[in-house]
Amino acid sequence: MTVSLRAGTLTPAGRPVRIGLMFVGHFAVAFGAKRAVPAASLGTLFIAGQLADLVWPVLVIAGIERVGVQPGLTVVTPLDFIYYPFSHSLVAAAAWALLFAAAYSRLRNAALRTGIVLALVVVSHWVLDALTHRPDMPLTVSAETTRVGLGLWNSLAGTIAVELLLFGAGLWLYARATRALDRTGRRALWGLVAFLLVIYAANLFGPPPPSGMAAAWSALAMWLLVAWGYWVDRHRAVVPV
Ligand SMILES: [Zn+2]
């Protein structure tokens, strides 16, 4: 798993590169939402919370969205999000939320409440990104749209504090809402937590990626974390309230 997240396959440097995406904060929301939608797997919640960043690298690699690298652009990330309305505009977030909730509800015959919570988790991605990004988050898919962003990424300490607090809270909620069914249920969860934190640190302190395309290829590895989420959840049971 580490291998695919290393930039060695993507860059000559052979080290993890700094993408600096809002990272553990999105996983925090996913962990925290488990109690509200016990029927949904943690893997499904990971998809919901990270849908924008799961779709984004695919669109960049396909040449539909564009990202550049400008070291020093913000303290936390050197990525310059030039054009990403289909993964990261507010309108797109709402559309993805509806689509995801509808698809899940149909496939799993889920209750309306489950669909609503999943949709909210999808939209939470945009809200958290708007907190951290500089004003590059489009409201609509139009080229002339207003772009917003509160710029928490201008403060490394602020970013780490907010993300780790969120992560701790989300994880605590998940750990309380579920219990391990076997040894894997415990080890897979804490292994995942350790892995997320290591990747997060590399994300913050690694060298900038040589190109936007390299960053997108690295970000694709996020899909592996989704698989890890499903694995963890299969070995844990929901604790009755
Ligand atoms: Zn994002």
Query: Helix or strand or coil: residue 49?
Result: helix
Does the pLDDT value for residue 189 go beyond 90? yes
**Ligand 1 centroid, distance to 198 Cα (angstroms):** 19
pLDDT class of 9 with cuts at 50, 70, 90: very low
Span from the CA of 52 to the centroid of ligand 1 (angstroms): 5
* 191-205: average pLDDT: 91
Q: So what's the pLDDT on residue 34?
A: 97
Please report the pLDDT score of residue 15 as a whole number: 55
pLDDT at 207 over 90: no
Which pLDDT belongs to residue 5? 39
CB distance 99 to 112 below 8 Å: no
**Residue 104, pLDDT score:** 97
Q: Are 169 and 29 in contact (CB under 8 A)?
A: no
Task: Give the C-alpha separation, 21 to 234, whole Å.
Answer: 28
Cα 238 to averaged position of ligand 1 atoms, centre (Å): 29
Tracing tokens 């580490």 back to the chain, one arrives at 2
Averaged pLDDT, 128-153: 95
Distance 129 CA to ligand 1 centre (A): 6
CA 136 to centroid of ligand 1, rounded, Å: 11
Q: Does 14 score more than 60 pLDDT?
A: no
* Confidence tier at 11 by pLDDT (50, 70, 90): very low
CA of 9 to the centre of ligand 1 (A): 23
Tell me the CA–centroid distance for residue 88 and ligand 1, in Å.
6
For residue 114, CA distances in Å to 44, 49, 84, 96, 228 come to 12, 14, 28, 16, 22
Average pLDDT of the chain, as a whole number = 91
How far apart are the CA of 176 and the centre of ligand 1, in A? 27
pLDDT band at 206 (very low <50, low <70, confident <90, very high): confident
Of the chain, the percentage scoring pLDDT greater than 70 comes to 92
Give the Å distance between the CA of 174 and the centre of ligand 1.
Answer: 22
DSSP 7: G
* Interval between CA 41 and ligand 1 midpoint (Å): 21
Does the structure show a pLDDT above 60 at 192?
Answer: yes
Structure tokens at 240: 């009755």
This prediction's pTM:
0.91
| d(CA 217, ligand 1 centre) in Å | 15
